[in-house]
């Protein structure tokens, strides 16, 4: 598509996308807002009214697109089936890379709008003829970890008005411009369809009777306690096990078929030196593969390990860790970085000591 001055902005009704709308308009773009109906807890649609009100005040068109069926099929079903398979899903990563941004692109194509925007706290950079996501200036809000899967045709069309800003400044901008409701909105917490407690969600939504109490085992195969059902546990988990042996215990392995959860008293027992990824995406293979200065992150915060990434003949990404990494759960996402630049990522298929 040819470049034009138009931008389709994903609007959640929250502070960030509201300020993104203001900033894009200030910069001279012809903005259209779009709100996807992904999931509505207790049928609450206030977010639609908030996005619509803001668009009215800014005199920009606003579209509502019902994506609830796609969200249910692609994200919620996947979320439940991953836990039922003993894995740890990453719904926000999947939604961003394989639903939200592709939907934005497809809708923009239909409307002949070139640019795509959101209120994500990330930047983008053009390096070695390839577009890359990079960390947002606000390190606490940086969302680069969630966007490793975006293809070039989306990256090149992205506008990211909040990349250089802090959340504090974003709230100030909303207040200064008289958008007080947007300025004061709470930050969204965790997964949108079960922000606090995924266990309650699983109890309500997993197939009836599929989650039952079972046994905790030690690494020698001895029963050491009772658990509430294997889907309620994640490899590496320490808290909330409901077992007290006067020492720290970690979930080492989960065996769904036997409803068996193995605990270990030593974090070293959980350490892995190699990780295999599926559903991966690489921005520029020459910048990532076989290099020794790449960082892998498997958690949103506070973890960064050096690694070397190999592409095997059967098209798997094999990650050789330079130092071992504990608590690697299959199903989780891994993102590769060089400094602030996202080089790609994938979903953890398996990890090896």
Of residues 178 through 197, those in contact with ligand ATP by CB under 6 A are: 187-188
E strand segments, 98-241: 115-117, 122-127, 130-135, 158-159, 214-217, 223-227
Q: Is residue 293 marked as binding?
A: no
What distance in Å separates the CA atoms of residue 131 and residue 124, rounded to the nearest whole number? 7
Half-sphere exposure of 130 (CA within 13 A, CB side): 18
Applying CB under 6 A, which part among 9-17, 269-277, 311-319, 324-332 lies near ligand ATP?
Answer: 9-17
14 binds ligand ATP per the rule CB under 6 A: yes
Q: Is 17 annotated as a binding residue?
A: yes
CA nearest to 143, candidates 67, 92, 89, 194: 92
Q: How many C-alpha atoms does 179 have within 13 Å on its Cβ side?
A: 27
Query: What is the C-alpha to C-alpha distance for residues 339 and 135, in angstroms, rounded to an integer?
Result: 9
Only one of the segments 116-124, 130-138, 223-231, 299-307 lies at the binding site for ligand ATP (rule: CB under 6 A); that segment is 116-124
Q: Which residue is nearest to ligand ATP (CB)?
A: 14
Is 20 or 211 the residue whose CB approaches ligand ATP more closely?
A: 20
Residues 6+ apart with CB under 8 A from 117: 7, 8, 9, 10, 20, 24, 158, 159, 160, 161
At closest approach, how far in Å is the CB of 109 from ligand ATP?
16
- Residue 243 CA to residue 287 CA, distance in Å, equals 46
The answer to whether 192 is a known catalytic residue is yes
Selected catalytic residue, list 95, 135, 194, 307: 95
**Which of 183, 307 has the CB closer to ligand ATP?**
183
Report if residue 229 touches ligand ATP, rule: CB under 6 A: no
12 binds ligand ATP (CB under 6 A): yes
Active site annotation includes 95:
yes
Q: How far apart are CA 98 and CA 105, in angstroms?
A: 11
Q: Which stretch binds ligand ATP (CB under 6 A): 24-32, 114-122, 244-252, 257-265?
A: 114-122
- Single out the residue of 240, 235, 245, 241 nearest to residue 265, CA to CA: 245
| Position 93 contacts ligand ATP (CB under 6 A) | no
Q: What distance in Å separates the CA atoms of residue 347 and residue 330, rounded to the nearest whole number?
A: 8
Is there a binding annotation on residue 12? yes
257 Cβ partners below 8 Å, 6+ apart? none
- Closest approach of ligand ATP to the CB of residue 58, in Å: 15
Q: Within a 10 A sphere around the Cβ of 176, how many other Cβ atoms?
A: 10
**Residue 144 binds ligand ATP, judged by CB under 6 A:** no
Binding pattern for the stretch 24-43 against ligand ATP, x by CB under 6 A and - elsewhere = ----------xxx-x-----
Residues identified as active-site: 95, 192
Q: In the complex, which residues of this chain contact ligand ATP (CB under 6 A)?
A: 10-12, 14-17, 34-36, 38, 118-120, 187-188
Q: Which residue ranges are tagged as binding site for ATP?
A: 10-17, 36, 119
């Amino acid at each position: 598509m040819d470049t034009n001055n138009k931008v389709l902005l994903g609007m959640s009704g929250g502070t960030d996308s509201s300020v993104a709308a203001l900033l894009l308009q200030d910069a001279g773009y012809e903005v259209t807002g779009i709100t996807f109906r992904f999931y509505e807890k207790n049928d609450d649609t206030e977010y639609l009214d908030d996005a619509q009100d803001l668009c009215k005040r800014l005199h920009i068109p606003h579209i509502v697109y019902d994506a609830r069926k796609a969200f249910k099929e692609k994200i919620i079903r996947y979320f439940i089936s991953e836990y039922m398979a003993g894995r740890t899903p990453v719904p926000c990563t999947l939604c961003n890379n394989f639903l939200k941004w592709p939907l934005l692109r497809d809708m923009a194509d239909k409307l002949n709008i070139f640019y795509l925007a959101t209120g994500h706290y990330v930047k983008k950079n053009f390096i070695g003829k390839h577009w890359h996501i990079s960390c947002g200036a606000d390190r606490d809000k940086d969302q680069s970890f969630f966007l490793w899967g975006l293809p070039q045709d989306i990256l090149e069309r992205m506008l990211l008005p909040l990349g250089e800003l802090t959340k504090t400044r974003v709230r100030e901008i909303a207040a200064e411009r008289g958008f007080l409701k947007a300025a004061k909105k709470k930050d969204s917490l965790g997964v949108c369809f079960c922000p606090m407690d995924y266990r309650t969600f699983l109890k309500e939504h997993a197939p009836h009777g599929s989650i039952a109490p079972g046994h905790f085992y030690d690494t020698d195969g001895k029963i050491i306690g009772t658990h509430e059902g294997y889907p309620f546990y994640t490899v590496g988990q320490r808290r909330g096990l409901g077992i007290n042996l006067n020492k720290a215990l970690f979930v080492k392995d989960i065996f769904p078929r036997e409803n068996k959860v193995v605990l270990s008293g030593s974090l070293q027992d959980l350490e892995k030196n190699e990780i295999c990824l599926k559903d991966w995406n690489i921005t520029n293979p020459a910048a990532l593969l076989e290099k020794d200065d790449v960082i892998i992150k498997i958690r949103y915060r506070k973890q960064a390990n050096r690694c070397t990434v190999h592409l095997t003949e059967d098209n798997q990404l094999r990650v050789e860790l330079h130092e071992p990494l504990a608590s690697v759960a299959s199903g989780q996402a891994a993102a590769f970085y060089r400094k602030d630049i996202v080089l790609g990522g994938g979903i953890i298929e398996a990890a090896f000591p």
